[in-house]
Amino acid sequence: MSIHIQNVSKKFGSFQALQDVSLHIQSGELVALLGPSGSGKTSLLRVIAGLETSDVGEILFDGQSMTERHPKERNVGFVFQHYALFRHMTVFDNVAYGLKVRPRKTRPPKAEIKNKVMELLQLVKLENFAERYPTQLSGGQRQRVALARALAVEPKVLLLDEPFGALDAKVRKELRRWLRKLHDDFHITSIFVTHDQEEALDVADRIVVMNNGKIEQIGSPDEVYTNPKSPFVYDFLGNVNLFKGRLHNGKLMHGEFSIDVPNTEAHTEDHAVGYVRPHDIQIEKTNIAGTVPAKVSHIHLLGPIVQIELRREDTEEFLEAELPKEQFINLQLAIGDHVFVKPKQLKVFIPEDFSI
């Protein structure tokens, strides 16, 4: 089922939660709404579900307006961060709940409900836990029960609000892998809210980056990470180093430092900022063109990757670099070493980019 969100705005008192948001989600797509707290992602999810009413704008499922329809009429499965399981019910009864409370005319027979619930529990690998209660389960198991319960009513749209936010890192990773497989098997149009960049990049077909109630960028995980459209997106999607200076004749210049910046020849700015990821920082032992002098202040070995903190000697600002362990060993770096640093990939933003 496709979802069209057209010019949706929503206020809570004086707080503008959503500002003229428009988005098209294709049938069977898995989309992440990513952003910091207060960016509007959960408000948008609740408007889609019908749990909140937009002030203006329209929500359409397969071209049909859902804007005035009750949540029960939207055929949406909703999974909350804190599971919202019935503690007095067994795992089986929690999953069966949505089927059992249907009106008599549409309620499946008991045998059919039992078969459906056991099929879902097998899917989430909890078929041996049917008679247990939520308090007897781990956090990851409870979240899987919540997902099975949402799927039991065969929704056309699955909405998940920070589904793994309350879990530890290892369990989150396991459930992310499981959610991808689940989505591949069911092909339900799914939208999940997260503030975890790694989670969005790992799971989603497309990412919608939100900030201050607006959409900053929409694209595939690779698009938004490698080609951010604004300083906010660049900064939010992982660690970043800043090279401040002025833009002139296709170069970013600061004191004696200058580096070529493609596709900026026509720009001349008094102030510009170059953004570069830690893995795109080149470290040399000798001075070469386009480098800045720096001093190694900290080294952190993290498996096959080595994280290096450096202090620039021309501005006293800190930089972060990531090197493969083999390259680090070849450079023979140590804390206190004087080195020369060069950005391999630089994305430059000018003042108007910061006012979007």
Closest CA relative to residue 261, chosen from 252, 272, 271, 273: 252
Q: Where are the domains of the chain?
A: 3-229, 239-355
Range 165-168, long-range pairs (CB < 8 A, 24+ positions): 165/81, 165/194, 165/195, 165/196, 166/81, 166/82, 166/139, 167/139, 167/140, 167/143, 168/139
With a cut of 70, say whether residue 265 has pLDDT above it: no
The token duo for 236 is 């939010």
pLDDT tens for each residue of 112-123: 999 999 988 988
Question: What percent of the chain has a predicted confidence (pLDDT) above 70?
Answer: 97
Cα separation, 264 vs 97, in Å, equals 60
- Taking only Cα atoms into account, the Rg of the chain, rounded to an integer number of angstroms, comes to 25
Q: Residues 281-314: pLDDT tens digits?
A: 999 999 888 889 999 999 999 889 999 999 998 8
**Which residues lie below 8 Å from residue 213, measured CB to CB, with a gap of 6+?**
10, 16, 17, 18, 19, 21, 39, 40, 43
CA 310 to chain centre: 29
pLDDT digits (tens, 9 = 90+) for 228-240: 999 999 999 989 9
Phi, psi angles (nearest 5°) of residue 264? -125, 15
pLDDT at 101: 87
Closest CA to 230 of 247, 252, 214: 214
Asked if pLDDT for residue 5 goes beyond 60, the answer is yes
CA of 184: how far to CAs of 28, 44, 290, in Å?
Answer: 9, 24, 47
Pairing mode, if any, of strands 30-34 and 189-194? parallel
pLDDT at residue 174 is higher than 60: yes
So what CATH class is 239-355? mainly beta
pLDDT at 180 over 70: yes
Which DSSP helix (H) or strand (E) runs through 186?
helix 169-186
Look up the CATH architecture of domain 3-229. Answer: 3-Layer(aba) Sandwich (3.40)
| Torsions phi, psi for 30 (to 5 deg) | -110, 110
The more confident residue out of 101 and 354 is 101
Whole-angstrom distance, CA of residue 66 vs CA of residue 53? 11
Same fold, 3-229 and 239-355: no
As a residue count, the chain comes to 356
Nearest-5° Cα angle at 70, 67 to 76: 90
Hey, which bits of the chain come out as E strands?
Answer: 3-12, 15-25, 30-34, 56-61, 64-65, 76-79, 157-161, 189-194, 206-211, 214-219, 241-248, 251-254, 257-260, 269-276, 281-284, 292-302, 305-312, 318-324, 338-343, 347-349
CA 353 to chain centre: 22
The position carrying tokens 């065969």 is: 154
Residue 336 in this model has a pLDDT that exceeds 60: yes
